[in-house]
Amino acid sequence: MSIIEPQESTLYQQLAETFASAIHNGTWAPGSRLPAIRRVAGAHQVSVNTVLNAWQVLEDRGLIEARPQSGYFVRTVLPALAHPRKHLTEVTSPSSEKLDLIDTVFAAQNHPDYTNISLACPQNTDFYPVVKLSRITASLLRHHPEIIGRYALPPGNERLRREVARRTMDLGFSLTSDAITLTHGCMEALQLALRAVTRPGDCVGLETPTYFYLFPLLASLGLKSVEIPTDPERGLSLDALEMLLREKRLNALIVMPNVQNPLGCSMTLADKKRLAQQVNQYQIPLIEDGLYSELQFCWPLTPAVKAFDRDGWVMYCSSFTKTLAPDFRLGWIAAGRFTAEIARLKAVSSMAEPALLSETLAQFLASGGYDHHLRSLRRRYAAQLDEARGLIARHFPRGTRATLPQGGFVFWVELPGTVDSVTLFHRLLQEKICVTPGELYTLSDRCHNALRLSCCYPFDERYCYALKRTGALACDMSGLAPGA
Per-residue CA distances from 303 to 91, 143, 173, 372 (Å): 31, 39, 8, 20
Which ranges constitute the DSSP H helices of 198-251? 214-220, 238-246
* 316 beta partners: 288, 334
Helix, strand, coil fractions of the chain, as percent rounded to 5: 50, 15, 35
Which of 50, 53, 118, 137 contacts a copy of itself by CB under 8 A? 137
Cβ nearer to a copy of itself, comparing 120 with 404 = 120
Cβ nearer to a copy of itself, comparing 344 with 469 = 344
- Name the helix (H) or strand (E) containing 56: helix 48-60
Residue (of 277, 283, 310) closest to 197 by Cα position:
283
Kindly state the smallest distance separating residue 94's Cβ from a copy of itself, in Å. 12
Kindly state the smallest distance separating residue 355's Cβ from a copy of itself, in Å. 5
Across 144-170, b (16+ Cβ under 10 Å) vs e yields: eeebeeeebebbbbbbbbbbbbebbeb
Kindly state the smallest distance separating residue 41's Cβ from a copy of itself, in Å. 46
Say whether residue 149 binds a copy of itself (CB under 8 A). yes
Cβ nearer to a copy of itself, comparing 200 with 300 = 200
Say whether residue 113 binds a copy of itself (CB under 8 A). no
Kindly state the smallest distance separating residue 344's Cβ from a copy of itself, in Å. 7
Positions 37 through 76 that interact with a copy of itself (CB under 8 A): none
Asked if residue 476 lies in contact with residue 427, where contact means CB atoms within 8 angstroms, the answer is: no
Say whether residue 114 binds a copy of itself (CB under 8 A). no
Which of 28, 73, 127, 338 contacts a copy of itself by CB under 8 A? 127
Which of 35, 216, 458, 483 contacts a copy of itself by CB under 8 A? 216
178-207 footprint of a copy of itself as x/- string (CB under 8 A): -----xxx-xx--x---x---xx-------
Q: Residue 32, Cα to own-chain centre: how many angstroms? A: 23
Say whether residue 147 binds a copy of itself (CB under 8 A). yes
Per-residue CA distances from 466 to 399, 432, 455 (Å): 20, 9, 12
Say whether residue 138 binds a copy of itself (CB under 8 A). yes
Pairing label, strands 224-231, 91-92: antiparallel
CA distance linking residue 392 with residue 404, whole number of Å:
12
Instruction: Map residue 208 onto helix, strand or coil.
Output: strand
Say whether residue 220 binds a copy of itself (CB under 8 A). yes
Say whether residue 146 binds a copy of itself (CB under 8 A). yes
Say whether residue 158 binds a copy of itself (CB under 8 A). no
Positions 343 through 372 that interact with a copy of itself (CB under 8 A): 344-345, 347-357
Per-residue CA distances from 109 to 14, 95, 429, 436, 441 (Å): 49, 21, 10, 8, 15
| Neighbour tally for 25: CB within 10 Å | 8
Say whether residue 376 binds a copy of itself (CB under 8 A). no
Kindly state the smallest distance separating residue 194's Cβ from a copy of itself, in Å. 10
By residue count, the chain amounts to 484
Say whether residue 222 binds a copy of itself (CB under 8 A). yes
> If phi over 0 gives left and psi between -120 and 50 gives alpha, with beta otherwise, what is residue 363?
alpha
Kindly state the smallest distance separating residue 110's Cβ from a copy of itself, in Å. 5
- Name the helix (H) or strand (E) containing 274: helix 269-282
293-332 footprint of a copy of itself as x/- string (CB under 8 A): ----------------------------x---xxxxx---
Going through 122-237 in order, the beta strands assigned E by DSSP cover 180-184, 203-208, 224-231, 235-236
Number of chain positions touching a copy of itself (CB under 8 A): 60
Taking the CA of residue 66 as centre, how many other CA atoms within 13 Å lie in the half-sphere pointing to its CB? 10
Positions 72 through 111 that interact with a copy of itself (CB under 8 A): 103, 106, 110
Say whether residue 142 binds a copy of itself (CB under 8 A). yes
Cβ nearer to a copy of itself, comparing 98 with 184 = 184
| Chain residues in the site for a copy of itself (CB under 8 A) | 103, 106, 110, 121-125, 127-128, 130-131, 133-134, 137-138, 141-142, 145-153, 183-185, 187-188, 191, 195, 199-200, 213, 216-217, 220, 222, 321, 325-329, 344-345, 347-357
